[in-house]
Amino acid sequence: MTTYNNAIPLDKRRSGVLLHITSLPGNYGNGVIGADAYRFVDFLKQAGYTIWQTLPLGPTHGDGSPYQSLSVHAGNPLLIDLQWLVDRNWLEEHDLHNCINDIFGRSKCITIAFNNFRKLFDACLCNNKGDCKECGLATCDKSTVDQEQCLAFQKFINDQAFWLDDYALYCALKKKYQQQSWFDWPDKFKNRNIKDLDKVRKELRYDIFYYQFEQFLFFSQWLALKTYANERGIYLFGDLPIFVAHDSADVWAHRNFFKLNKEGASEVVAGVPPDYFSATGQRWGNPHYQWDAIEKSKFSWWVERIQTQQLLFDLVRIDHFRGLESSWEIPATEETAINGQWVKSPGMKLLTTLYNTYPELSLVAEDLGIITDEVNQLRESFNLPGMKILQFAFSGESSNPYLPHNHQINGVVYTGTHDNDTTLSWLETLNDKEKHYLQQYFNFPYEPLNKVLNNATLASVAKLAILPMQDLIDAGIGQRMNTPGTTEGNWQWRFSWEQLTEEHRIHARQMNELYGRLN
């Protein structure tokens, strides 16, 4: 019998911290893959954690949600560290300072670096004459082009062509049409007429190479950070949204894999029915999969998607895992998620294909919300850990599956997730009965309840224990990451190094050692 999902980092008791890259400190409007990211890895090592969990890394739409990305493969250019460009002499220090103080500074800096690196790009342009045998590129000037970067860039373009070609063209066309969604483009581009696409690739070749360069920067920086973390025993834990944004390179390039009409519009959209988070459910608006077409392709799109995740992360959470068994389809005309229906998905066939392709794949199932026996069976068939949230535990029933005494070894336990309030703030919302039950459960502890819940998370029998950064540093009201069902004020939280004290580090290491999570 095949044994699934036993590879590192699911091989032993471990603990970690949930912190998105954008929440790191720094000089920019959001955290980046720079010095503060490396400093955070060092903190994790010193504190005894071995897991760093992030949110999805893809380029976002205007609302900033990492769960509605322009691509399931690409990295968010807002996460690129501009100092990295200075260190490689692609950007002058004074340009960096000017960019930081400009609302459009990041793209300006990357454009400057792009132009300073133009010799490489000129060498890569397909229509130039000449040949460089060492690079394999056209008109490569050995006296001016950094040969190592020339080779690295060409390798990146070749290795990632299965998604990068469509993504770069998609971004170039969005720029050409003032950021309109692909389904509002002229029909010849919306419907991907081959001759017209070939023609526009030549017209937009500068922009196409710019977006390829942008992704080269992101992947180079992220993979360097991953190497640094892995060398110190820290594993990166990613997050894979099960659905894809309608306005994305993926839906544009693979329309046959999604339930769209001839105009490219969705007739049904994704979401979840009413639950703990919302009385009217959540209407996400993503297009649903055309599973019969995906299955006929031997799940090739999903296999490629996991290929990228395998490159970027050591462990991946499948967000809304229950959608691999059944998904909630809402008529596109409905304003809420109340009126919908569950539609079956081929999760067993999909996961079998993924594990046959990637035997060392490590997955976690986000199994919150309405979970059926069929969903549990699918998760257990592949030995996937589910999730337990302590903020859901204290409803008053001893059978509540989120209570620590009901946890299972094959699980991941959290105080809360990015969709929850901070534990300190959540405690303020409890009524007297709920607070008394919580105190009684922990035998009326002397420590503040938020610290008690942190310790209970680490003490759980679950193999993985994850603390949101807000709970680690005792962050209170107004410091949550996201409020489900809302679009304003989310994804903006950042911490400062002053909030992360030596006392936090010492206590964390003591608790990791006490509860057998120090590796």
Q: Which residue out of 81, 214, 367, 419 is catalytically annotated?
A: 419
160/149 Cα distance (integer angstroms): 16
Is 325 an annotated catalytic residue?
A: no
Residue 287 near residue 251, CB atoms below 8 Å? yes
316/83 Cα distance (integer angstroms): 29
473/139 Cα distance (integer angstroms): 54
Closest to 120 (Cα-Cα) out of 85, 72, 154: 154
The 3-state DSSP class for residue 464 equals strand
Instruction: Give residues with Cβ within 8 angstroms of 257, minimum separation 6.
Output: 289, 290, 293, 294, 297, 301
Q: Which residue has the tokens 């509540």?
A: 400
38/33 Cα distance (integer angstroms): 8
**Cβ atoms within 10 Å, residue 203:** 11
Closest to 494 (Cα-Cα) out of 481, 503, 484, 508: 481
167/250 Cα distance (integer angstroms): 8
**Cβ atoms within 10 Å, residue 514:** 12
Residue 58 near residue 72, CB atoms below 8 Å? yes
Residue 364 near residue 390, CB atoms below 8 Å? no
Cβ contacts of 482-491, under 8 Å, gap ≥ 24: 482/65, 482/418, 482/419, 483/419, 484/277, 484/278, 484/282, 484/419, 485/277, 485/278, 485/280, 485/282, 487/63, 490/63, 490/64, 490/65, 491/20, 491/22, 491/60, 491/63, 491/64, 491/65, 491/66
- Sheet with 268-272: strands ordered across: 282-287, 268-272, 326-331, 341-344
Is 366 an annotated catalytic residue?
A: yes
Q: Between vectors from CA 483 to CA 286 and to CA 50, what angle results, nearest 5°?
A: 90
Q: Which residue out of 314, 319, 325, 471 is catalytically annotated?
A: 319
- Phi and psi at 240, nearest 5°, equal -115, 105
Cα torsion 261, 263, 264, 268: sign: negative
Is 421 an annotated catalytic residue?
A: no
Residue 122 near residue 131, CB atoms below 8 Å? no
Which helix (H) or strand (E) segment holds residue 86: the answer is: helix 82-87
Q: Where are the alpha helices (DSSP H) in 160-253?
A: 161-176, 187-190, 194-203, 205-231, 249-253
3-state DSSP of 104-140: CHHHHHHHHHHHHCHHHHHHHCCCCCCCECCCCECCC
Region for 475 from its dihedrals, namely left if φ exceeds 0, alpha if ψ lies in -120 to 50, beta otherwise: beta
Q: Which residue out of 366, 367, 421, 471 is catalytically annotated?
A: 366
- Residues taking part in catalysis: 319, 366, 419
